[in-house]
């Protein structure tokens, strides 16, 4: 039970760290970008931003991590199977979160 909780905690921490790492460089490059032209009043409205981009980034990171673990050369001391289960659980939970947001 302790191992499962620690594994889930580690996966969640990994997702948060990856989401932050992926968003920090993007924020820095946006800060250095040239300002966009001021939109005209009659210009077509831009599409709405994707809701919850951090969750989508976390899902992508989890899926990449799962693929890496599935193709790893060794079993990480027997922890790979449990980590894969925890990753599947985390992916499923994030997908459920997004589903409830649409409702």
pLDDT in tens, 11-39: 766 666 655 665 655 555 555 555 555 55
pTM (predicted TM-score): 0.53
Higher-scoring residue by pLDDT: 28, 98: 98
Owning domain of residue 96: 1-22+53-103
Residue 36 lies in a domain: no
Domain count, the chain: 1
Q: Do the domain assignments include residue 6?
A: yes
CA atoms within 13 A on the CB side of 1: 0
Residue 43 CA to residue 85 CA, distance in Å, equals 49
Residue 38 lies in a domain: no
Does some domain include residue 61? Answer: yes
3-state secondary structure 38-92: CCCCCCCCCCCCCCCHHHHHHHHHHHHHHHHHHCCCCCCCCCHHHHHHHHHHHHH
Quick check: is 31 in a domain? no
């Amino acid at each position: 039970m302790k191992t499962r909780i620690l594994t889930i905690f580690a996966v969640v921490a990994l997702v948060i760290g990856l989401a932050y790492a992926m968003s920090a460089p993007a924020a820095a490059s946006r800060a250095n970008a040239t300002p966009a032209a001021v939109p005209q009043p009659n210009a077509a409205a831009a599409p709405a931003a994707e809701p919850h981009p951090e969750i989508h980034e976390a899902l992508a990171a989890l899926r990449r991590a799962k693929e890496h673990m599935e193709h790893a050369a060794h079993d990480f001391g027997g922890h790979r199977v449990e980590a894969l289960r925890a990753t599947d659980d985390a992916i499923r939970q994030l997908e459920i979160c997004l589903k409830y947001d649409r409702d």
